[in-house]
Amino acid sequence: MARLSNLMPETDLPAKPVTPSRRRVFASRLISTVILWTVIVVAFVSQKEWLVLSVCAFLGLAGVAEYARLTRCAGGMGLYDALLGLVALGWWSVAGFWTMKHHTEPPLWLDLGALVLVVHGSFLICLRKSLDGMHTLQRIFITIFGGVYAVVFFGFVLRLMYFRSTGQGMTGMPHALFLIMVTKFSDMGAYAVGVLFGRHKMIPHISPAKSWEGLVGAFLGSFTAAAVLMAIMPEKLAPLTWTHALLIAPVLCVVAVVGDLAESVLKRCTAIKDSGHTLPGIGGILDLTDSLIFTAPVFYFYLMAVG
């Protein structure tokens, strides 16, 4: 009987989780990246405002939805998430109407109005029942931070597309392309070099996959993207010069890394691996836009300063 029992399949044992190989993860990440760049290139080349605006609005609203998913562990976030979603929908609706009508960037009062609504609304929601100590403050601050992080900051990508426009349309598209290329090539350089040569962990308590070798790859990627674009279309990138481009590239690289780590902080604090599963090999929309959320305002104000 002992021998027979040894031959019987052990159905009670839990199955071991199947971890995808690095090659498989890289392949799925590559496919998602190619698809995303195709969408971006088509939107940019077409120069159709409605198409570019639709892509930006989709990414912005999806990012807000994923932020709400990340912070849901705080509990009692239902009405707060609804408020943040309505503010985001209102921001993109007004921004779309304004840009399509005036062909200039959204007005500053739109950002300020969104912040006023999210602050006032958060406190109004907490008045409807007895306070829950620090948990109530936590919900309020999560909502207000979401308004800044996922709505206002990401909105600077759209602002860049209309940089210095006085009704001529998307005159800042080359600058937006510069931002996206430098930021995302920084991400890709960090990933590629980190996977191939990463040995020394950079901040293991936040993101175990990040390495100092990957940071070198991030700088190489950002410099490469900046140099290629300056060589191809220097006139269209004015007021950027070669000096400005090579100065801002490493700054955007560092800010992109901080933005990536910022989302890692959110995910680690909420015990969620990916913000979503929309993009195989990459994760969610926030996993794609986290670095842009940080670099877009910095690049916009840099252009305002030098322009």
**Cβ pair 109, 50 in contact under 8 A:** no
CA-CA-CA-CA torsion sign (85, 88, 92, 98) = positive
**Cβ pair 215, 148 in contact under 8 A:** no
pLDDT attached to residue 270? 84
pLDDT attached to residue 198? 84
CA–CA distance from 274 to each of 18, 69, 121, 177 (Å)?
17, 10, 29, 26
Residue 203: strand pairing partners:
207
What span, in angstroms and rounded, lies between the C-alpha atoms of 178 and 180? 6
83 Cβ contact list (under 8 Å, min separation 6): 117, 118, 121, 122, 125, 143
pLDDT attached to residue 166? 84
Render each residue's pLDDT in the chain as its tens digit; 307 residues: 444 445 444 444 444 444 455 556 556 556 656 666 677 777 777 778 888 899 899 999 999 999 999 888 878 899 999 999 999 999 999 999 999 999 999 999 999 999 999 999 999 999 998 898 999 999 999 999 999 999 999 999 999 999 988 888 888 999 999 999 999 899 889 888 988 888 889 988 888 888 999 999 999 999 999 999 999 999 999 999 999 999 999 999 999 999 999 988 998 888 776 555 555 555 678 888 889 999 999 999 999 999 7
Residue type, 168: Q
What span, in angstroms and rounded, lies between the C-alpha atoms of 262 and 108? 25
Residue ranges of domains in the chain: 32-306
206 Cβ contact list (under 8 Å, min separation 6): 261, 264, 265, 268
pLDDT attached to residue 283? 65
